[in-house]
């Protein structure tokens, strides 16, 4: 069983402490111990949703908003660039999910 860590009870995401496969239960340690089942593989250091996060709602980690859901995020989903945008960096939604490289401009 993989493990993740939730810093504050109000956090709606936890950070993976090891890689987690889809469908394999993850033990959530920390502020509000629980379990969550990943809907897709989530790698070490990335975030997983602990509960439903409606589109437009804040993604909360460390007890503070770190982003905004760009679409509904379901429990067990990987929370990253494909479904979360920065409220301070308008280009965050244009970054490549795998590499983080910008996709809104051409490089020669």
Q: Are 93 and 81 in contact (CB under 8 A)?
A: yes
Per-residue exposure over 34-52, b if at least 16 CB sit within 10 Å of its own CB, e if not: bebebeeebeeebbbbbee
Q: What's the pLDDT tens digit per position in 67-85?
A: 999 999 999 999 998 899 8
Q: CATH second-level architecture of 2-94?
A: Roll (2.30)
- Rounded to 5°, the CA angle 71-64-82 comes to 25
pLDDT in tens, 14-36: 999 999 999 999 999 999 999 99
pTM of the full structure = 0.83
């Amino acid at each position: 069983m993989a493990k993740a860590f939730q810093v504050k009870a109000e956090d709606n995401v936890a950070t993976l402490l090891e890689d987690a496969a889809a469908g394999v239960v993850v033990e959530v340690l920390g502020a509000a111990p629980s379990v969550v089942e990943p809907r897709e593989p989530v790698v070490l250091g990335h975030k997983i949703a602990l509960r439903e996060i409606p589109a437009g709602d804040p993604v909360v980690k460390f007890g503070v908003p770190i982003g905004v859901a760009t679409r509904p995020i379901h429990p067990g989903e990987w929370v990253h660039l494909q479904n979360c945008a920065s409220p301070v960096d308008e280009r965050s939604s244009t970054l490549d999910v795998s590499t983080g490289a910008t996709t809104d401009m051409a490089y020669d």
